[in-house]
Each structure stands twice: as C-alpha cells, then as structure tokens.
Amino acid sequence: MSTVINVHLILGSTVSMIIPARVVESGDDGLLLWVAPRTPLWRATIPPGTHLRDLPPEGSYPLRADRWRHGGALILQPAGAGHAVWWSFTPEQEFRSWYVNLESRVRSMDGADVHVTDQELDITVAPDRAWEWKDEESFAAKTGHPVYWTAAEAAAIRAEGVRVTHLIDTAAYPFDGTWCDFHPPTSWPLPERPELPLGTVDAPSGVLLLGKGGWIDHRPAGDPPRSERASALAATGGGHLHDGGAAGPEPWGYEAVAVPAAADRPLPVRARTAPSPFDGEPVISVLEISLGLPWDHAAHGPGPVPLGDLPVDRCGMVLGDALALDRFEGLSGESVDGLADLMYWGRYKEEARVMFGGEPVHTHPGGSGPHGFLDLPLAEAAALAARIEDWVRTGPGNGLVVSVDPHTDYHRARRAGWGHPVLAGDIEVGGCRVLGLGWDPGDHSERHRGERAHGQVYPVTLQDRAGEAVLRWTVPAYEAPLEAEL
C-alpha cells in the first residue's frame, strides 16, 4: 500500500485545508499524489457564501472535520518548481481538466507533510488545452500586502505561470495526455483524517509540563513550587508529578507529566482525532508534542519510555513551561486583567435576553451556546448577574443558570478554545505560550467521567519520531462494545 502524505494548503497566514494524499510516484523529479473522493480532511471554517481569498488575512478561521467534496484528483508537484499541476476527474473517474496552481512548497523533515503556500494566480486548462488565467484581480489586489508577496515576487510568480503555458501550448508533459486515464488501485482504502495542528508552546526553562487544568494553582501547604519538582523529574529524563506522595496519585488531586524540552524554539503540538461516541464530533485520541531535542538512543534505546499516566480532567488540560505555570491563575484564581465574562443559559434564555441584552456566545463548534456579555469590569459583571438572578427569583422561577467567570488564566485558556474542533486554545502566561485543552462535557461523561478514581487513566510516553523526541499521550478511541451472542 502506498505512503500517505498530508498536504497543508495555505493562503497568506491561514491554513485553508489539510488533506491526506496517497503517493503514486516519488523521485528526484518530484511527487505525484492522489486525492480520492470523500477523503476525510480538515477545512477552514469561513462564513457561508464566502471564499477565503476574499476574507481578511488576519481573521480567525478554525479548522473543522470535513471530506473532499469533488471527484478524484492527481497532483504533480515537480521538484524545485513554483507550481503544481492537478488532473481533475469526475466521480466516475473520467478526466475532466487540468489546473495549474502557482505555489511554493516546503516538505517536513520526516516527509509526512507538505506545506503548500498558494500564490493566488492560477491557470485553468481544458481537455483540448485551451487555457486562461484565473484570479488575476485577486492576485493583483494582494500584491504588496505584507502577508502575501511583493511586486518583484509577483513578477516571478507570473513568469512561472508563463513558463507553464509554453508546456500547455506545445502539449508537452504533463499536458500530453499522460495520467488522463489513471485509475487508482482498488486496494487503496480512504486514508485517515490527518493530524490536527494545535499550534506551538514555549518552554524557556527547558522543562515542559502536561497536566490537569483543575487545581493547577493549588498545592499542599509547605510544598515547593511545582516547577522545582518538575525540573528534578526532567533532569532524570521525565516523570509523573502528583500530590499523592508515596501512596500514588490522589483520585481527584493534581497531577502532570514533566519532560525536558528545547528552550530556544517553539514546540509544535498536534493531535490525532477519533469520533466521539457522544455526538460523533472529533475528539483527541493522541496528543503529541515535539520536544525539539534529538532522540537519545543511548539512554532510551528504541523507546517508547513510559512516564506515567494521566486522566482526562473534566476541567481540561494545560500544556506549557513548568516555571510559567507556577504563575497560572486557576479555577478559583484572580482575574488577570480585572475583567469577567457573564453568561446565562437554560429554559428562559431568550426571555432574559429581551430583558437584559446579551449576545450569543459560541463556546463549542456547532453548538447554540449561552447568551452573555464578554469583557465586563468585574464589579459590573457581578451587579448584572445579581439583577438577572433577582429577576429569575421574582419572575419565571427556576430554569436559568447565570455564571460570572473572572478572566483567570484557566478561563482565558478555555475561552481561547471556543469554536476550535477539539477546544484547544493558547494564551500567554509569564511571557510563554501555554496551550489549554478543553473537553466536551458530553464526551467526558460518556468515556472519562470516573477519571483516576475508576482507573480511567491513559499512558504518557517519550517516543522517537524521525530522530526527534516527542511527548505522546494516548487516549484510546472509543470502541463500541461487542453485542452479546444470541
């Protein structure tokens, strides 16, 4: 079976799609890839009826699970060239047309990913080789913008396109009919949805911590800062940090895993996902962090190295620099900016909105969410919450929940993940980028509700990935129980 490469399509600074493609041919002259109909992928979420090219480049467009919506496509990425050629097919595998995408490309060190930066200007080519430029106005409008390309770069991009038109006009490869009769082997199944990039974290102290978000800022009286214990564990190669002493982790206490990490670079974080048994939406099945350090074969052999296990905290998980997380304001901490968010939900949500105002707050992809007010001064949020609660008591009665959430680091991390497919969001703590990982309440209740108290813990390991040390937390995908035989 052929290798699968994940193609990241990027416009400006936005990832528009990540799609897995099978390698048809690979050599010094480039790559030929196949994208099958209905291939599972990640696609940027943009307003209905719009195209990413027409939206502001500084916007936020989280990725969502989707599938390839067209017939199959072959993609030729010639080595060293500033373009790719696509063969488009109908669902019945009949050749439809060629498409020339002007682009730049970078392949990852391990070869598993190709990052393609779109240069907007393209060429459409009919089966009879009649061709025309595409998106010229948009290309011109983006020229000179700091996110895109300079005027000199634009001239080079167009010159690359002109070189390709000479190949079209002379019916030279790849426009000579080669691959137009391609049929993929029937043994090729659809590839899995690619890993989902979750951004990066920093670890300037050289120690990275992955732990439970609840009670992160609480520790037993007299205990040293957690970063001291984390540093001691990292010095031995990594290990499990918890508040349970020699007896082991407490059923509902704080716990984390600490590992050494590169102090001088961002550390990429990615996740494999699987459908939740609760609603079918993607949830994390493997969390992996590149540690920026070479794999130590002398110390670890081929690996993996077990570091302990962690439950899925219903309050979410936190990943970041151990020293920075000493300053993390948790569940019951103080607002870091004097502000708070007020939200209300329940049976009388719409009536409360008429009485007090507030806008929909989209806290979860695809969910209706509560109504509320963001970024209110603390005192104002508390006073408004009291008014709403008085109205509930004297009016409709029980049926509305009101919440005031001060801007603690815990709340900021959860808020940063609103709208993200796996509720991941990064914030700054102590000058470091820290990642918060929320968990859908329904999925947590279906699979992880017992947590450590009921043995629901999942292994954390140190592993070798293409010569680099990675931290990997494996949360097994849900498997429906086998039906009892009659």
Residue-wise pLDDT for 42-52, tens only, equals 999 888 888 88
> Average pLDDT, stretch 307-334?
95
CA-based angle 236:239:245, to the nearest 5? 110
Task: Please state whether 263 falls in left (phi above 0), alpha (psi between -120 and 50) or beta.
Answer: alpha
How confident is residue 484, by pLDDT bands cut at 50, 70 and 90? very low
Cα distances from 172 to residues 7, 107, 224, in angstroms, run 26, 27, 71
C-beta of residue 97 within 8 angstroms of C-beta of residue 124: yes
pLDDT beyond 90 at 338: yes
How far is residue 121's CA from residue 362's CA, in Å, rounded to a whole number? 35
Q: Which two tokens stand for residue 8?
A: 């990241």
pLDDT beyond 60 at 261: yes
How far is residue 264's CA from residue 270's CA, in Å, rounded to a whole number? 19
The pLDDT value given to residue 337: 96
- In sequence order, the 6+-apart residues with CB closer than 8 A to the CB of 37 are 68, 70, 71, 72, 91
* Cis upstream peptide for 197 (omega within 30°): no
pTM: 0.89
> Average pLDDT, stretch 52-62?
84
The pLDDT value given to residue 54: 86
Residue-wise pLDDT for 422-454, tens only, equals 999 999 999 999 999 999 889 999 899 889 999
pLDDT beyond 60 at 280: yes
How confident is residue 202, by pLDDT bands cut at 50, 70 and 90? very high
Cα distances from 467 to residues 7, 194, 217, 260, in angstroms, run 22, 21, 35, 16
363 residue type, one letter: T
How far is residue 391's CA from residue 326's CA, in Å, rounded to a whole number? 41
The pLDDT value given to residue 52: 86
3-state secondary structure 409-459: HHHHHHHHCCCCCCCEEEEEECCEEEEEECCCHHHHHHHCCCHHHHCCCEE
pLDDT beyond 50 at 486: no
How far is residue 465's CA from residue 268's CA, in Å, rounded to a whole number? 13
* Cis upstream peptide for 481 (omega within 30°): no
Q: Which two tokens stand for residue 101?
A: 């995408």
Residue-wise pLDDT for 447-479, tens only, equals 998 899 999 999 999 999 989 999 999 999 887
The pLDDT value given to residue 367: 61
CA-based angle 429:212:194, to the nearest 5? 85
> Average pLDDT, stretch 380-392?
96
Question: Maximum Cα–Cα distance for the chain, whole Å?
Answer: 82
pLDDT beyond 80 at 2: no
The pLDDT value given to residue 124: 98
pLDDT beyond 70 at 480: no
How confident is residue 104, by pLDDT bands cut at 50, 70 and 90? very high
How far is residue 8's CA from residue 117's CA, in Å, rounded to a whole number? 8
> Average pLDDT, stretch 394-418?
93
Backbone angles phi, psi at 348, to 5 degrees: -110, 30
- The pLDDT mean for the chain works out to 93
Check residues 254 and 365 and name the one with the higher pLDDT: 254
The H or E element spanning position 401 is strand 400-406
> Average pLDDT, stretch 159-171?
98
Report the side by side order of strands in the sheet with 196-201: 196-201, 267-275, 282-294, 468-474, 458-465, 305-310
C-beta of residue 372 within 8 angstroms of C-beta of residue 342: yes
Alpha helices (H) in 208-248, listed in sequence order: 226-235
Residue-wise pLDDT for 10-35, tens only, equals 999 899 999 999 999 999 999 999 99
How far is residue 429's CA from residue 324's CA, in Å, rounded to a whole number? 6
Backbone angles phi, psi at 67, to 5 degrees: -135, 155
- In sequence order, the 6+-apart residues with CB closer than 8 A to the CB of 431 are 204, 324
How confident is residue 485, by pLDDT bands cut at 50, 70 and 90? very low
Per mean pLDDT, which of 127-131, 298-302, 440-444 is the most reliable? Answer: 127-131
How confident is residue 395, by pLDDT bands cut at 50, 70 and 90? confident
Using the structure block, give the residue that is written with the tokens 């907007």.
Answer: 120
The pLDDT value given to residue 215: 82
DSSP string, 62-88: -EEEEE--SS-EEEEEETT-SEEEEEE
pLDDT beyond 80 at 60: no
- In sequence order, the 6+-apart residues with CB closer than 8 A to the CB of 137 are none
Q: How many angstroms separate the first and last alpha carbons of the chain?
A: 38
> Average pLDDT, stretch 288-301?
95
Cα distances from 212 to residues 21, 437, 440, in angstroms, run 36, 10, 15
pLDDT beyond 50 at 332: yes
